[in-house]
Each structure stands twice: as C-alpha cells, then as structure tokens.
Structure 1
Amino acid sequence: MKVLISGGSGFLGSAFSRELMARYRAQNKDVTITWLTRDSSQPHPDDINMMTYDELAKSDMSFDVILNLAGAGIADSRWSDERKEQLMASRIKPTQSILDFIARASTKPKLLVSGSAIGWYGTQGDKPLTENSDYETDFAHTLCNEWEQLALKATNHDVPVAIVRTGVVIHPEGGMVAKLLLPFKFGVGGQLGDGQQVMSWISREDWVSAVIFIIEQQLKLTKESDVNHIESLAQDNAPINDSTIKTANSTANNTNAVVYNLTAPNPVTNHTFTKALGSWLHRPTFFTLPEFLLKLMFGEMSTLLIDGQKVLPQALLDAGYSFKHSTLQQALGNQK
C-alpha cells in the first residue's frame, strides 16, 4: 500500500506512520509512506519518503491512500483576525494542492482521509452529538466546515472521502496533555471554570488504530464493490479487460463520503479530567481558573476551554471498532 500524508511529521501523523509501518511489516505486507512537506530537508525517519508540494504539483506518482492532516494548531494562540486567516489557510492550501493532484492523476487514490475536528458541531453543551447531529455556527464550525467541504470535492473525481472529526487527543507528547504537564507537575494544575463542561477525548493510540481501521474498512468495501460490479458485467457477457476494471472502479467509488467522530465512547467533565490527570501525575489539583480570567487571557479562543461538547463515536462503534482505551483512566494509565 502506498500512502501520502500531509502533516506527516506532526503529533498524529508521525504516530500513524510508525504504527502503520510496524503493522504491515509484521504481516509481511508492502507499505510505502510519503510525507508531503514544504521543506524536504526537515528531519524524518529513514524509511519515510519526502515530497514537497511543488513536487506533488508535477508528480505522476500514484497513491492508494491520502491522509490529509496539515493544519496549524487551533489552540496554539489567541484568535486574532490574522490568526484566523492563518488557521484557515494552513488547512485550505494543502487540501487544494491534494485536490489538484487528484484531479489530474491518471490513477486515482482509492481513498482520501481528511482531517477535521469535533469543533464542527459548535458549542452545544452536554447534548449528545453523533455524526448525524446538526451544528451551531461559530468560528470553530466555520473552520472545520470549509476544510471538510473542500476535501469532499474529491468525490467529484470518483475518489471516496472519509472525514475524521477528532476530539482532544490524549498523549504526553503533544496536544492538551503536553501543555498541562508542567503546571500540573508543579502542583498548580486545576479545573477550568466550573469544571462541568464536557470534554470529548481519545487516546492517541486509539486515534491511530481507528484511522487504520477506517482505511482498511473503506478499501475492503471498495474492493468488494469492484468485484460485484465486474461479476455483474461478466454475467451480461460483457468483456472483462483493463477498460472494464477502470469503469468498475469508477462506478464503485462514485460520490462515496463518510464521517467519523474520533472520540472515545465515554466523555468526561473538565473536573473529572483534572482529577484524573492530577492522580496520574501524583499532584494536587486545588486551583481553579475562573471563567472571566480565561476569557481575559484567551479571548474568543476561550470557548475551547469553557464550552463543552459531548461527541460520541457512533459510526466507529457501528462499524465494529473496539476501543483499546474506552475510559480516561485507561488512556492515562497506558501512556508511554
């Protein structure tokens, strides 16, 4: 399998690359991973190929799967107008480059997996949200929605798309936990606001395993559809040749798009998360950052800290995915 990843060197992309490589090699399956980057000289593992966006624009290579994760961290700094433009551009430009490649590729990818976030649902408190739920409009929704809608244009070229809406990813190497480690280790960690806002989280190990699960499920469905279509043509006494197979692939993949929430099945309140993190680090959690102070410090971005979302992974569960870490205690206890 040949995989192209934008954002491959990041917190999620690098972990995905390591795990996919390890799994496929253990099964004696061929796998080639290429990271899409603006700087091909950046440090990378020896078994990872590198390709710049300029090279992609001229490339005639083919890939079985494209994983689109590029995007600046939404919680890295205050949402000034300039920062909002950066957040949008950091997602839209790489995605457009991938779409341009797909449009002119003679051999289309079998699947595009494109990143998003549970921010798509907007602020909805403790209302349970699944992939079929509606949204509330705010900046996080607008950012995610424009990213998703652009990625979905790959279906215009008969390439199936899986949108993965990611929650708070739990691992000390990055994300929220990495940002909280220092204050918690010094004993000044504490809950945010009243602590009752719901946090929808997922361990990084489950995130990686879920994306591999989605890829394998979608490729299996595509393969089965191809075989069924070819058998149908054969029963009609149609000749089976290279042209027929291409037609079958095109028909099977037509405008196929799915959405998955990448969250664990048991969301927690910020209070529960704070106590669990303090217990894991063996540190007290007496402090509280009041809501007014969070708004003063972070402005509009404070909504990510103050307003909860109870997002459930219904599509993953329905598809048969089994979580390794279904509780926060399991996720923290198994960190390496």
Structure 2
Amino acid sequence: MAASRVAVAGASGLIGSALVRSLTADGHEVVRLVRRAPQAPGEVRWDPERSRADPAGLAGCDAVVNLAGAGIGDRRWTPAYKARIRDSRVRGTAALAEAVAALEPRPRVFVNGSAIGYYGDTGARAVDERAPAGRGFLPSVCVEWETAAAPAQEAGVRTVFPRTGLIVARRGGAWGRLFPVFRAGLGGRLGDGRQYWSFVSLHDEVAAIRHLLDRDDLSGPFNVTAPHPLTNREITAAMGRVLRRPTLFAVPAPVLRTVLGEMSGEVLGSARVLPARLLESGFRFAFPEIEDAIRAALQAR
C-alpha cells in the first residue's frame, strides 16, 4: 500500500499499538481514535459504547481499522462486564461502519477486528472460515460484532474481518500473563491440557492485517492463527523448553472454574482453527511454529 492516511481505533492496545508502529515506520499517516479529549496531533475523539463516531474525523482516510473492545480476560465475567464486552465491540463497530458509509469519498477498506471465539469450542475438530458460528457468549458476540459492519459493506466499502487467535507477545494478552509464571518455574498445563490453543505471533498478526489492508481482492473473514494449532499440554512443554524451566505444576479444571467463573470455559475450551483463506491468499507466516513465536516474543523490543 502506497503511503496513505489510516485511521486506527484501539490504537493503544496490544495489536493496535504494534500496527501503528508498523504503519508509521513505513511512512503512513495514522489517525488515532481516542475516547478522551484529543491531546496530540492525529487524534480524533469517539465514543464506541454510545455508538458515536464523527465522519469528519475520518475524512481523507484510505483505510479504517477497528481493533477496539473491552478485554476478554481483564475481569471476571459479571453480567455488567459481559454487557461491556459486547457493547464495546458491537456499538463501536456500528458507529465506525456508519461513519465510513457517510464519507465521500469513502475509504477503500474497513478492517474490523473479530476473534476465533466465533467458532466456540471445536474440540479436536479442525475448522476454517467455512465453519458456522458456535454456541455461547463469545460466538454470539462475534456474530453481532461482524454483523454491525453492515453499513460499510452495503455502501460498497471492502470489509475484512481478521478473526484473531491467542497472541504470543511478551506483554499483554494471554502470553503476557503466562511468561512471568513460567519464568518463575510455576508453569504447567491448564485442566487436562488436551484443549487446542490457536496461537499467532504478534509479528504475524500485524503482518496479516497489513496484508489484508493491501490486497484489494480480499474481503470477509480471515482466521489469523498460525497454521499448526497445538494443545495446551504441547504449548506448556514448548514454554518449558524455550525458557528452560520445569512445567510440573497444573491447575485443575475445578479450580479454574472457581477462580474464573464463566470465563473458565474459554481457558478450558478447545479451538483448533486453521488460517485457510490467509494461506490461500499467499500470506506467509514468519513464525509458524510455537517455539519460534515464543522466541520472537522474548526478543521483541
């Protein structure tokens, strides 16, 4: 993509901040959507949970990327927090999609974040983008999240949904919590360890989003996960090998359910998700194997 103007919602998050660095390094102008009063050039205010986004702030943007949403694992899933998880995604997406549709000229692409939570618990069965939505809270959120982008699609804007897996990064996300535990020699499997974890390195996540931004022939859902998902037991062993620490501890499923409540279903659930469309489009992963992804995370600045 030639140097352009790109709006990013969720620019301060794990993926968003890495994407902004990548775009800026390549000479793109980045407009950051923020929930507070703008304090720096290039910031535009919006209110995702009240479905407010001023189209004027997006004027001149070639692309809009929405990565905003309350953290899935940040808090226990009380009814109020579940509503926040849903509203921050669905209402925010609707606001941006409507703003994009109202622009003239319109951006050429709207990349709206999604997640492999769309598929629910798939057990040992491998799924790709052809699989239907699963059942439960997160699948229903993901369906509404993607559906909320309809105004942009109906206005003829190319719309893409990167369904992201578990990000392997030193800080933030699931691995940001795992690394300190494993470094302390307290790491181990969760539950029986047979559940599949579909991971992706932060480097490959950003590269995939850039790929989806650049390719005018790509639209719809794309699983952004490494090609070879592994079980929690296998990932635990890989963490032990890379960090050279024992992995003798295990957290029984009943303990996880007591501590995490309903969210424990996401930790103990299995998601064996394959990036079929991404690979078919010619994308190549820099860190397709878990040990390489772990090492890349540890070496990242």
Task: Give the aligned partner of residue 238 of structure 2.
Answer: 276
With the length of structure 2 as denominator, give the TM-score of the two structures: 0.92
Higher RCO (C-alpha under 8 Å, 6+ residues apart): 1
Deviates more, 1:87-96 or 1:318-327: 87-96
CA contact (8 A) 2:129 2:276 kept: yes
Counterpart check, 1:320 vs 2:282: yes
Cα 1:104/1:152, change in 2 over 3 Å = closer
Equivalent position SS for 2:152: helix
Task: Give the aligned partner of residue 176 of structure 2.
Answer: 178
Pair member with larger Rg: 1
Cα 1:113/1:58, change in 2 over 3 Å = closer
Counterpart check, 1:15 vs 2:18: yes
Q: Percent identity?
A: 34
Task: Give the aligned partner of residue 295 of structure 1.
Answer: 257
CA contact (8 A) 2:55 2:100 kept: no
Q: What are the equivalent positions in structure 2 for 1:214-293 lying under 5 Å apart?
A: 214-218=212-216, 221=217, 257-293=219-255
Query: Aligned AA for 2:69?
Result: G
| CA shift digits 1:7-61 (9 cap, x unpaired) | 0111001101111222x33xxxxx210110112456x7xxx71110179526162
2:45 aligned to which of 52, 58, 63: 52
1:39 aligned to which of 36, 42, 51: 36
* Root mean square deviation, CA, Å: 1.7
2:143 aligned to which of 123, 142, 145: 145
Equivalent position SS for 1:326: coil
Distance 2:219 2:183 in 1: 43
Higher helix share: 1
Distance 2:172 2:138 in 1: 20
Task: Give the aligned partner of residue 245 of structure 1.
Answer: none
Distance 2:53 2:135 in 1: 34
User: What are structure 1's unaligned runs of at least 5 residues?
Assistant: 26-30, 222-255
Query: Aligned AA for 1:2?
Result: R
Equivalent position SS for 2:250: strand
CA contact (8 A) 1:40 1:52 kept: yes
With the length of structure 1 as denominator, give the TM-score of the two structures: 0.82
Task: Give the aligned partner of residue 195 of structure 2.
Answer: 197
